[in-house]
Amino acid sequence: MKKFLGLLASVVLVISMLAGCVSQESATGGSKGKKEGSGNDKIKIAVVPKLIGIPYFNASEKGVIEAGKELGVDVIYTGPTEADAAQQVKVIEDLISQNVDVIAVAPNDAASLTPVLKKAKDKGIIVMDWDTPADQSLVELSVHQIDDEAYGRHIAKSLIEKMGAEEGEIAILTGGLSAANLNTWIDAAKKELAEKYPGIKLVTDKIATDEKQQVAYQKTLDLVKSYPNLKGIMAFSTPAPLGAAQAIQEKGLQDKIAVVGTALPTDSAPYLEDGSLDVAILWEPDKLGFLTVALAKALAEGKKPENGQDIAKVGKIELWEDGKTVIMGPPTDFTKENAKDFNF
Amino acid sequence: MKAVSFSKESILGLIALIVFILMSLFIPGFFEQNNLNNMMFQLPEFGLLALAMMIVIVTGGIDLSITYIAAMSGVAIALMQSHGYPMLTAIIVGIIVGLACGLINGTIISKIGVSPILVTLGTMVLFEGVILSITKGSSISGFSESYSLIGNGYYMGIVPLSIIIFIFFAILTGVLLAKTKWGRSVYMIGSNPVATLFSGVNNSRVLMRVYLYAAMLAAIASIIMTSRYNSAKVDLGSSYLLQSVSAAVLGGTEIQGGYGKVIGTIYAVIIFQMLSSGLNLMGVSRPIVNVMMGVILITVLVLNFVKGKIEEKNQKTAAA
């Protein structure tokens, strides 16, 4: 036994030493080009969200499934159960083994997906991203829900509208200080204010709420106390508007302070009802899912989208000059009147 | 009654084999080059963390900070490489950072004697905080081409390099546990620390080495992960934490310590890997995969427990 183990250990040692010199040999050479039909000829499209089981991505799943039925393609909607990049890579690797035609992914961490997306591309799979951009050198298409710049400006404009005045003190709440998409929106909103409404004064730097409603609630209470003349709050990230509205509701300041933010309609309905939240502005995730599948199908058939193309159920889309970035359309305003019509 | 049928490990090995055969037969695409390669690429990082966890559990402890140790050394490697240091230096620094984390755990547990679950819970939060303050939550990238071969390259064009690294460390761990004085002390401490101390073993030194060794395995896992995912981040591989405990326990390791084998843990890791890949290939939704893994884990543990009880009873009746 001892001899055997010794032998085994030395064999491994030798192998591992050899590995040191020959490891440059990459790629199996066994990539068999295109897959061979695999039974039926239906196009197989895989849509991978950041994680599954949260309201936002459940809503987009509905759109994906619906599109699969209507457009006659096989869709797979699968993702990690935690927002862990390692898990997401595994999901994609397993999808590659399933010989899908298109993979559309919303990366948790764009850099960590680069190697596996490269692998997918080498196997002849069409790679695109949706919701959040991946490595742009690898994707054929990048489906965005909104034009970030226009979105930020729209939120700022809505706030001014709801305040009913073009001057006064306002504050900005955000999910996290380092969240790239939130920062883009906030910068755009600030630009809009600086350019068109010089009378608006930002009382303090953007305030981080850790993507938590409870924190947003607490911070809003502090804000209201420290700045009695505060007239408006812009809240970015989906929990932040809810927390802010909760504080406003509790203090009975509905008529004095306007709150606008980026929240899902079902969550915000109770606050929209009494005006503690004036308007929630977001896109419709189910439409985004639908659009992703529709564009994926077109790509698999060799068709590129066009600027201004009308997609059934979604509307006119916008294609940027790079030929990759697709914008779904303008954001949707969820108000007291229409919030009940949505089920996400 | 004497010829005790099979050990826990060989039963588990048999289960692994059966699962493999069934899946190859019934799941299209499972027994294909691409999927087999996938599994070999996915297994090493998880396997190394499970082995590290197994050793710690054998001493009756647990290491909750293990994935953050991995993330910590991953971030160190990423930082070194993105600042232009050569690959080898970066890797060595990464391992040293990992060992330093293990040293903190080891010192507090072995020298001061605080219970491992509390210490590693604390260091888990500590390491997470340190990484967050360094990276501000974003991921660090910028590895060299050759570095990415560690996790993505093939040896001789057939076998993934990472699985060879894993096999090497699995054998090393097996030999260390079974053939060295240190290995025997590890088992002894796990079953009865007081008796071990009085039989002349330096408990604290043995424990210190256990946590250092676990940290080193975590650092190796982190090298494979960062190379595979081309980035380092605070929650890199965080989902492996509880999975590695599950794999160790499924592999027959006694959660109170004193028993546990490398081969059992490896079988368990292989079973987990096959289930995850196989069920994904079938298109079973992820939450259901989790449910099935949970059910399997509980079933095996209950079976082991019942089997242990029956054997105990038999021994008692035999003695009486």
Q: If you count them, how many residues does chain B have?
A: 320
For the record, the structure tokens of A2 come out as: 């001892």
DSSP string of A271-337?
A: HHHTTSS-EEEE--HHHHHHHHHHHHHHHHTT----TT-EETTTEE-EE-TTS-EEE--S-EEE-TT
Q: Which of B287, B130, B110 is nearest to B197 (CA)?
A: B110
User: Is the confidence at residue B290, as pLDDT, over 50?
Assistant: yes
How do residues B98-157 score in pLDDT, each as one tens digit?
999 999 999 999 999 899 999 999 999 999 999 989 987 778 888 888 888 888 888 877
Strand pairing class (B159-160; B154-155): antiparallel
What is the pLDDT at residue B129? 92
Q: Which of residues 90-119 of A touch B (CB under 8 A)?
A: 90-91, 93-99, 109, 111-115
CA distance A73 to A285: 20
DSSP assigned state of B232: B
Helix (H, G, I), strand (E, B) or coil at A35: coil
- Indicate if ipTM > 0.85: no
Contact A336, A172 (CB under 8 A): no
User: Is the confidence at residue B159, as pLDDT, over 80?
Assistant: yes
For the record, the structure tokens of B118 come out as: 């509390």
What domains appear along chain B, each with residue ranges and CATH number? 12-22+31-309 (1.10.3470)
For the record, the structure tokens of A48 come out as: 């991978």
What is the pLDDT at residue A56? 83
What domains appear along chain A, each with residue ranges and CATH number? 44-145+285-329 (3.40.50.2300), 148-282 (3.40.50.2300)
- Is A8 touching B (CB cutoff 8 A)? yes
Burial B48-71 (b: 16+ CB within 10 A, else e): bbbbbbbbbbbbbbbbbbbbbbbb
Mean pLDDT over the full length of chain B: 90
Contacts of A53 in chain B (CB under 8 A): 287
**What residue of A is the nearest CA neighbor of B282?**
A98
For the record, the structure tokens of A220 come out as: 């809003």
CA distance B151 to B134: 25
Contact B46, B268 (CB under 8 A): no
Distance from CA of A159 to the nearest CA of B (A): 30
CA distances from A317 to A141, A155, A213, A291 (A): 13, 20, 33, 9
CA distance B185 to B197: 10
Q: Which of A239, A235, A251 is nearest to A158 (CA)?
A: A235
Contacts of A12 in chain B (CB under 8 A): 167-168, 171
Distance from CA of A27 to the nearest CA of B (A): 6
Contact A311, A291 (CB under 8 A): yes
Question: What's the mean pLDDT in B288-316?
Answer: 84
Q: Which of A25, A138, A24, A123 is nearest to B35 (CA)?
A: A123
For B34, how many CA atoms within 13 A lie in the half-sphere containing its CB? 21
- Is A65 touching B (CB cutoff 8 A)? no
Q: Which of B155, B158, B273 is the best substitution to test chain A (most A C-beta atoms within 10 A)?
A: B155
Strand pairing class (A141-144; A325-327): parallel
The three-state (H, E, C) secondary structure of B80-146, written as one string: HHHCCCCHHHHHHHHHHHHHHHHHHHHHHHHHHCCCHHHHHHHHHHHHHHHHHHHHCCCCECCCCHH
User: Is the confidence at residue B1, as pLDDT, over 60?
Assistant: no
Contact B34, B273 (CB under 8 A): no
For B97, how many CA atoms within 13 A lie in the half-sphere containing its CB? 26
Distance from CA of B240 to the nearest CA of A (A): 9
List per-residue pLDDT tens for chain A, 344 residues long.
454 455 445 544 554 444 444 443 344 433 333 444 444 578 999 999 988 887 788 889 999 999 999 999 999 999 988 877 888 999 999 999 888 999 999 998 888 899 899 999 999 999 999 988 888 999 999 999 889 999 999 999 999 999 998 889 999 999 887 777 888 899 999 999 999 999 999 999 889 888 889 999 999 999 999 999 999 999 998 889 999 999 999 999 999 999 999 998 888 999 999 999 999 999 988 999 999 999 999 999 998 888 888 888 888 888 988 888 999 988 999 998 888 888 77
Contact B98, B244 (CB under 8 A): no
Strand pairing class (A207-208; A168-174): parallel
Burial B263-277 (b: 16+ CB within 10 A, else e): bbbbbbbbbbbbbbb
Q: Which contiguous run of DSSP H or E holds residue A47?
A: strand A44-48
- Is A28 touching B (CB cutoff 8 A)? yes
**What residue of A is the nearest CA neighbor of B30?**
A97
What is the pLDDT at residue B320? 67
Q: Which contiguous run of DSSP H or E holds residue A11?
A: helix A2-22
Across the interface, whether the CB atoms of A111 and B236 are under 8 A apart is answered: no
Contact A300, A126 (CB under 8 A): yes
Distance from CA of B137 to the nearest CA of A (A): 7
Backbone angles phi, psi at A29, to 5 degrees: 75, -10
- Smallest Cβ–Cβ distance between B171 and the set A9, A27, A91 belongs to A9
